[in-house]
Structure 1
Amino acid sequence: MKFSELKLQDSVLDALDAMRFDECTPIQEQAIPIILEGRDLIAVAQTGTGKTAAFLLPILDKLSTGNYPADAINCVVMSPTRELAQQIDQQMEGFSYFVPVSSVPVYGGSDGVLFEQQKKGLTLGADVVIATPGRLISHLSLGYVDLSKVSFFILDEADRMLDMGFYDDIMQIFKHFPETCQVIMFSATMPTKIQQMAKKILKNPAEVKLAVSKPAEKIIQAAYICYERQKLGIIQSLFIDEVPERVIIFASSKIKVKEVARSLKMMKLNIGEMHSDLDQSQREHIMREFKAGRINILVATDIVSRGIDIDDIRLVVNYDVPHDSEDYVHRIGRTARANNDGVAITFVSEKEQTNFKNIETFLGKDIYKIPLPEELGEAPEYKPSENKYKRSGGFRKSSGGTKRKGNYSSKSKQAKK
């Protein structure tokens, strides 16, 4: 469908034409008419599907009519990170080029001048406020922000915000909105905690869910069936000959990230860690070091499984099996970008076998199982159905175990066969 077929104002269509936007993506085609109708919406779509335009365009269309109070905040867009808020603000500038709508980005930073600029925009009443939860709470607590006339509340990457611990902040902000506020929630996944929050803040919402894309064929996928205690030894084996320039190791929690990072530093590996306990400036510093190559290995929670703008990540390691298939796709999608090859390796302990089998079922194929290095001892059998009900299965010797400590590239070649 073309944008011209949607019931958008001419001023919005003119901006799209100037930006050479012609065809809608599926999420835009489905979400824009619902938002224009004034209905609450919960939409499940991956990063990169065009969801920013899916919520900005209908909001701009409505605001352009002039039927909303001047000098008031009419829309709040909530973003989990400063980087995403900046990206949304940049798209806002383009889409609103021919539309008399004002906006202000509100996110953290150490610059006092930036805080004063944000305060001015909030006090004067910008039409659209694009904010991270923590910084908006900071301004709210000082008493000069009026959210009583907000007509639209948009949560972008809602699952990521909850993973980062922003649930209470979001609910505190939500209390400042009028009951008539239209709520639009976008999320890449739909875990239980997202469903619970949706029930609290959405009114009879429409639902749009796009099928999760399968991983790129260029990604070489493999797994180690192992005991939990063997996982660090596998990493040591992978990197004994060489360490790729950029590696991301995903772990299930910030506590696990800290433990793994501490152990890998003791192996003299060049490590950075990324989790929700770090403040914004710390996260930005780590990402700069990683992009510049001064950090080879980034150990992270799912806080970085979406939205990383780095095209040459060579290897993704799932230290823990992701909870669902969608998380798996997001994680391994960090590699094999921009026509590069990439490798994704998952460590599967006994209690994680059922989750991993569910991922294989979703992918429609069995992922190659790399034999454990002999020096790590025996591995558990891969019996997901049995391990669903009991935590200790039979033992088998590591069939075809390698006698040498190979690096990740030699094992990935084996996995490709």
Structure 2
Amino acid sequence: MNTRNAFSNLNLKPELLAVVQELGFQTMTPIQEQSIPALLTGKDLIGQSKTGSGKTAAFILPILNQLELNQKTVQAVIICPTRELATQVLTEVRRLGRKLVGLQTMSLTGGAQTGREQQQELEKGVQIVVGTPGRILDLASKGRLFLEDVKTVVLDEADKMFDMGFIVEIGNLMKELPTQRQTVLFSATFSEAVLDLSRRYQKNPARVTIQEAPESLLIEEVTYDSEESNKADNLMRVLQQHQAESCIVFCNTKNSVNDLMNRFLDLKASVTCLHGDLEQRDRERVMAMFKNGSAKILVATDVAARGLDIENLELVINYDFPLQPETYVHRIGRTGRAGKSGVAVTLISARDTLKLIEIEQITGRKFQKPALGFKNQFGLNWEWKQSPMQTLMISGGRKNKIRPGDILGALTGAAGGLKAADIGKIEMHDTYSYVAVRSDSANHALNSLRNGKIKAQKFQVKILK
């Protein structure tokens, strides 16, 4: 192992190094190796790196390292273009900071909580806030979010901020922050607009550009000819030929998502869906079930294409041809991550030919174009119908002082009787929690939790379908 870029060489708090070790992170990725030492010294930084490169941990670890945990005021603000990305970043903050006693974090996005709930949370004392520009600015300008103690501000996916028209909010928000601060900016591209943002708000920043082989080189990119009239049938043929542990099927519209969802349900597939009309709590439920193996197929619009980190995703299918080449790149970037291989399948009609050529020119790669095999007479493969896990929802969370270990203990202790190997991902929220349990043990787990207690408290429990 190359010890030169080992995390143990960093001047991090022992609690952070312990978490890094527990998570199995031994050596830093290139973006981490070049960014973390500079950020630990307090320098401003502008970084360019592809999705899945480890850049989130690159800015979170230095923030956690410099926190004054006894001080219950906001010391770091992480600004994200979407609430999905904000949720992902906040999860990583809590994961990496789980051994820091007294750490208080909070999401400031639309739809997650009411203004009153957010105000009550802020009044208790929060050190790191992660959110979208509009909501953070709204609370700061109304005197409900105090930013005078902020040491670090991070703009994550700055290029997307411009795409979504947030530049005015960013400018106004910067006026609310202390002039003496560390400003960190990460972007997939160094466009002129992003560089102008750097010139305006950063002081002599370190500049980090990671020239890596694109992740998509690990992705097998395949197209199948398919006209609109038989596209749904052809999708089922694709799923028969490309078996995987999990799959995202991308559509351009909510109606397309709903139509496919109904078709999959008729086939008794292990499926869930995600689109922009879902409330935040429903989005969290959907993503929890997909990530933990309770649903093998996720049918989604492009709301899922950015900012969602899904481990070990082997297959992405473009059911509807992406409207923009950039959308294609973001969609297939959900697979082939962290050095693992993946398959990206795109169904194309004759009218998509020019768009396909444009994508090949932009990416510098050629699609494989095999013939689509014959349809299996038995319909969808059995594997797409069987979920290895089921998800239990518990009506208690962080505000009830419950930790993942308490849920694990209730399930594996004398009352629960399950083995640790029967338990999958445990995901905590403020007022509820999700736990994945092996499908053949789900009913037993449900009954033991309903009849027992978690940390001496009774909670409602149900299996999510």
After TM superposition, the score normalised by the length of structure 2 is: 0.60
Contact 1:76-1:153 within 8 A present in 2 as well: yes
Matches within 5 A, 1:240-279: 247-250=247-250, 256-258=252-254, 260-261=256-257, 264=260, 268-269=263-264, 274-276=274-276, 278-279=278-279
Q: CA deviation at 1:76?
A: 1.1
Ranges in structure 2 where 5+ consecutive residues have no aligned partner: 266-270, 382-465
Report the count of equivalent residues.
355
Distance 2:144 2:197 in 1: 27
Partner of 1:238: 234
Partners of 2:255 and 2:176 lie apart in 1 by 39
Q: 1:310-349, aligned counterparts within 5 Å?
A: 311=312, 314-317=315-318, 319-321=320-322, 328=328, 330-335=330-335, 342-345=343-346, 347=348, 349=352
> In the alignment, what sits opposite 2:45?
41
Name 1:109's counterpart in structure 2. 112
Aligned to 1:209: 209
Q: Is 1:369–2:369 an aligned residue pair?
A: yes
Write the distance in 1 (CA, Å) between the matches of 2:19 and 2:290.
Answer: 36
Structure 1 position 300, deviation (Å): 1.7
CA shift digits 1:260-280 (9 cap, x unpaired): 436657x84558664556542
**CA–CA distance in 2 between the matches of 1:218 and 1:304?**
18
Specify the code of the residue in structure 1 equivalent to 2:17: L
Q: Displacement, 1:17?
A: 4.7
- RCO comparison, higher one (Cα < 8 Å, 6+): 1
Please list every run of 5 or more consecutive structure 1 residues that lacks an aligned counterpart in the other structure: 374-401, 411-417
Q: Which amino acid aligns with 1:208?
A: V
Percent identity (aligned)? 27
Residue type at the aligned position of 2:210: L
TM-score, normalised relative to structure 1: 0.65
**Secondary structure, counterpart of 2:299 in structure 1:** strand
Compute the displacement of 1:140 (Å): 3.1
Q: Who is 2:299 aligned against?
A: 298
Superposition map of 1:11-410 within 5 A: 12-13=13-14, 15-17=16-18, 19-20=20-21, 22-63=26-67, 72-79=73-80, 80=82, 81=84, 82-94=86-98, 96=100, 102-107=103-108, 109-110=112-113, 115=118, 117-121=120-124, 124=125, 126-133=126-133, 135-137=135-137, 139-140=139-140, 142-159=142-159, 169-190=169-190, 194-195=194-195, 197-198=197-198, 200-215=200-215, 219-224=219-224, 232-233=228-229, 235-239=231-235, 247-250=247-250, 256-258=252-254, 260-261=256-257, 264=260, 268-269=263-264, 274-276=274-276, 278-288=278-288, 296-301=297-302, 303-309=304-310, 311=312, 314-317=315-318, 319-321=320-322, 328=328, 330-335=330-335, 342-345=343-346, 347=348, 349-359=352-362, 361=364, 363=365, 366-370=366-370
Say if 2:315 and 2:335, in contact at 8 Å, map to a contact too: yes
Aligned partner of residue 61 in structure 2, secondary structure: helix
- Kindly provide the CA deviation profile for residues 113-166 of structure 1, in whole angstroms up to 9, marking residues without a partner as x: 953552224xx4x44333344553453355222213423101234455666665
Matched position secondary structure for 2:140: helix
* 2: CA distance, partners of 1:181 / 1:171: 15
What's the secondary structure of 1:239's corresponding residue? helix
Distance of aligned partners of 1:77 and 1:350 in 2 relative to their CA distance in 1, 3 Å threshold: same
Aligned equivalents of 1:185, 1:171: Cα separation in 2: 14
Equivalent residues of 2:16, 2:96 under 8 A apart: no
For the residue of structure 2 that corresponds to 1:185, the secondary structure is strand
| Structure 2 counterpart of 1:206, one-letter code | A
- 1:352, distance to aligned residue in structure 2 (A): 1.4
Change (3 A) 1:29 1:289: closer
Query: Helix, strand or coil for the counterpart of 1:46?
Result: coil
CA distance 1:87–1:137, shift in 2 (3 Å): same
